Amino acid sequence: MHVEEKMTYETWPAAPEKSTLESKNKFLGFWLFLGGETVLFATLFATYLALKDKVPNTSQHLAKDLFELPLTFVATMLLLTSSLTSVYAMYHMKNFAFKKMMLWLGLTVLLGAAFLGLEVYEFNHYVHKFHHTFTSSAFGSAFYTLVGFHGAHVAFGLCWILTLMIRNSKRGLNLYNAPKFYVASLYWHFIDVVWVFIFTVVYLMGMVG
Partner 1 sequence: MTNQPLSSGNPSVDIEYRRRKSAEEMRYQIISFTLMIFLTLVAFAAVAMKGFTAWFTVPFILLLAAVQVVFQLFYFMHMSHKGHEAPTLFLFSGLFVGLTGILAFLTVVWW
Give the binding site for partner 1 (CB under 8 A).
1, 9-10, 13-16, 18-19, 28, 31-32, 34-39, 41-43, 45-47, 49-50, 54, 69, 72-73, 76-77, 80, 83-84, 87-88, 91, 94-95, 186, 189-190, 192-193, 196-197, 199-201, 204-205, 207-209
Q: In angstroms, rounded to a whole number, what is the distance separating the alpha carbons of residues 189 and 200?
A: 17
> Minimum Å distance from CB 170 to partner 1?
26
Non-local CB neighbours of 50 within 8 Å, separated by 6+ positions: 142
Q: In angstroms, rounded to a whole number, what is the distance separating the alpha carbons of residues 119 and 164?
A: 24
Residue 31 or 121: the one with the smaller Cβ distance to partner 1 is 31
Q: In angstroms, rounded to a whole number, what is the distance separating the alpha carbons of residues 97 and 42?
A: 37
Give the closest residue to 171 by CA, choosing from 82, 89, 101, 85: 101
Which of the 8 DSSP states describes residue 7?
A: P
> Minimum Å distance from CB 67 to partner 1?
10
> Minimum Å distance from CB 108 to partner 1?
12
> Minimum Å distance from CB 100 to partner 1?
12
Residue 46 or 124: the one with the smaller Cβ distance to partner 1 is 46
Residue 151 or 206: the one with the smaller Cβ distance to partner 1 is 206
Q: In angstroms, rounded to a whole number, what is the distance separating the alpha carbons of residues 177 and 134?
A: 40
Residue 134 or 197: the one with the smaller Cβ distance to partner 1 is 197
Residue 24 or 127: the one with the smaller Cβ distance to partner 1 is 24
Other beta carbons within 10 Å of 30:
18
